[in-house]
Amino acid sequence: MRNKIMLVDGMALLFRAFYATSVHGNFMRRSDSTPTNGIHGLVKHLLYASQNFKPTHTIICWDMGSETFRTEAYENYKANRGAPPEELIPQFDLAKEVVAQLNIPNIGYKGYEADDCIGTLAAAYKEAHDVLVLTGDTDLLQLVDETVHVALLRKGLGNYEVYDPATFVEAKGINASQLVDVKALMGDSSDNYPGVKGIGEKTAYKLIQEHGTVDTLLENVDSLTKGQRTKILECLDDLHMSRELAAIYCEVPIECSLEKAVHEVDEERIEAVIRAMEWKRGEQFLQLL
């Protein structure tokens, strides 16, 4: 029997939930003044996704600090990002406590990002099981294959854009595995790595559609326009580095037995979380079970 394993990008859900309410100054606080708005939204996202996708197993992956092998390789990686809001900081550890209360494993490994942990677990499970990745991060689309689908959160709760190999090709004009090559060319302003200066998203997709990979593109660099050839040859180091930074690393030394990840979010566990977080109107969570 093939199980359906939902791998959740905890950081993506927590940040999205936090900013959805904090923009209105609604932080929701326990009696000890600890903000809980991000956690409140995270639990809602989990329950909506459970209702929609009906996983047999659920695992949540987290970043474990800002220092990773990528920042060691390129000191400016994500250097354009400011510190998280002070109201969000205490919610990082508290969110993991809540997830543990729901009997969902928390997975992370120092030196790697949540994306790498998700990629590693997806690679470990996908031969024998079906995997669904729940995230708001388009970088994880590179994991899409026949047994790994990616559900991107869209505006509102319970709204998703689900990608399998066919829908990815239809939307992007390339295979999911080629997304790394596109990112190598165009760079990423959010993660702050350069790509090839002067090559934008449209051109990057066009070049990979025509040549398949960065390696094949470089083998045929003489066939490019003079402008494209000049830009690429002047930025070869940045091109190769950006490809390394863009690629999800799928060999993090982690594992999670499926026995520990059986999806058992029930009324008793939800009620315990509601009490611990001191949330009013807890019935809205129970209605999603």
Assess whether 232 and 127 both reside in one domain.
Answer: no
| Interval 240-251: pLDDT, tens | 999 999 999 999
What's the pLDDT score for residue 283?
82
| Interval 172-191: pLDDT, tens | 999 999 999 999 999 999 99
Give the residue numbers spanning the domain of 235.
Answer: 176-246
Q: Stretch 3-14: mean pLDDT, rounded?
A: 97
What's the pLDDT score for residue 69?
97
With pLDDT > 90 as the criterion, what percentage of the chain qualifies?
92
Cα gap 53→204, rounded to integer Å: 33
Assess whether 275 and 201 both reside in one domain.
Answer: no
What's the pLDDT score for residue 242?
98
Kindly give, in sequence order, each residue whose CB lies less than 8 Å from that of residue 39, ignoring residues fewer than 6 positions away. 14, 17, 91, 94, 95, 98, 277
Assess whether 181 and 112 both reside in one domain.
Answer: no
Assess whether 75 and 187 both reside in one domain.
Answer: no
Residue 289 falls within a domain, yes or no? no
Assess whether 59 and 83 both reside in one domain.
Answer: yes
* Per-residue pLDDT at 228 exceeds 90: yes
Residue 164 falls within a domain, yes or no? yes
* Per-residue pLDDT at 50 exceeds 90: yes
Total domain count, the chain: 2
* Per-residue pLDDT at 288 exceeds 90: no
What's the pLDDT score for residue 60?
98
Residue 116 falls within a domain, yes or no? yes
What's the pLDDT score for residue 284?
85
Assess whether 263 and 159 both reside in one domain.
Answer: yes
Give the neighbor-by-neighbor strand order of the sheet with 160-163: 106-107, 57-61, 4-9, 130-135, 148-153, 160-163
Residue 12 falls within a domain, yes or no? yes
What's the pLDDT score for residue 24?
84
Kindly give, in sequence order, each residue whose CB lies less than 8 Å from that of residue 154, ignoring residues fewer than 6 positions away. 160, 161
Is the separation of the CB atoms in 15 and 38 below 8 Å? yes
Cα gap 132→233, rounded to integer Å: 39
* Band of pLDDT at residue 42, cut at 50, 70 and 90: very high
* Band of pLDDT at residue 286, cut at 50, 70 and 90: confident
Assess whether 150 and 204 both reside in one domain.
Answer: no
* Band of pLDDT at residue 237, cut at 50, 70 and 90: very high
Assess whether 258 and 124 both reside in one domain.
Answer: yes
What's the pLDDT score for residue 187?
97
Q: Stretch 265-284: mean pLDDT, rounded?
A: 92
* Band of pLDDT at residue 201, cut at 50, 70 and 90: very high
What's the pLDDT score for residue 23?
84
Assess whether 116 and 239 both reside in one domain.
Answer: no
Residue 274 falls within a domain, yes or no? yes
CATH number at residue 268: 3.40.50.1010
Is the separation of the CB atoms in 119 and 250 below 8 Å? yes
| Interval 110-121: pLDDT, tens | 999 999 999 999
Assess whether 68 and 39 both reside in one domain.
Answer: yes
| Interval 134-163: pLDDT, tens | 999 999 999 999 999 999 999 988 999 999
Q: Work out the mean pLDDT of the chain and round it to a whole number.
A: 96
Q: Stretch 78-96: mean pLDDT, rounded?
A: 95
Assess whether 242 and 275 both reside in one domain.
Answer: no
